[in-house]
Amino acid sequence: MNAVMSLKGRDFLTLLDFSTEEILDLLALAADLKAKQKAGVSYTPLSGKTMAMIFEKPSTRTRVSFEVGMIQLGGQAMYLNGNDLQLGRGETIADTARVLSQYVDVIMIRTFAHQKVEELAEYASVPVINGLTDDDHPCQALADLLTIYEAKKTFQGVKLAYVGDGNNVANALLVAAAKVGMNVAIACPPGYEPKAEYVEAARQIGEKTGATVVVTHDPLVAVAGADAIYTDVWTSMGQESERKPDYLFLHCLPAHRGEEVTAGVMDGPNSVVFEQAGNRLHAQKAILLSVL
Catalytic, 110? Answer yes
List the catalytic residue out of 105, 232, 276, 282: 232
Active-site annotation holder among 10, 61, 110, 251: 110
Active-site pick, 227, 252, 282, 284: 252
Active-site choice (114, 251, 280, 282): 280
Residue 265 φ/ψ, nearest 5 degrees:
-75, -45
The yes-or-no answer on residue 252 being catalytic is yes
**Which of 61, 114, 137, 251 does the annotation list as catalytic?**
137
Task: Report how far residue 4's alpha carbon sits from residue 179's, in angstroms, rounded to the nearest whole number.
Answer: 19
Of 72, 140, 276, 284, which is the active-site residue? Answer: 140
**Is position 10 annotated as part of the catalytic site?**
no
Tell me how far the alpha carbon of residue 175 is from its chain's centroid.
11
**Annotated catalytic residue 139:** no
Give pairs for 63-72: CB < 8 Å, separation 24+: 65/280, 65/281, 65/284, 66/108, 66/131, 66/284, 68/281, 69/281, 69/282, 69/284, 69/285, 69/288, 70/46, 70/288, 72/37, 72/43, 72/44, 72/281, 72/285
Q: Which residues are catalytic?
A: 110, 137, 140, 232, 252, 280
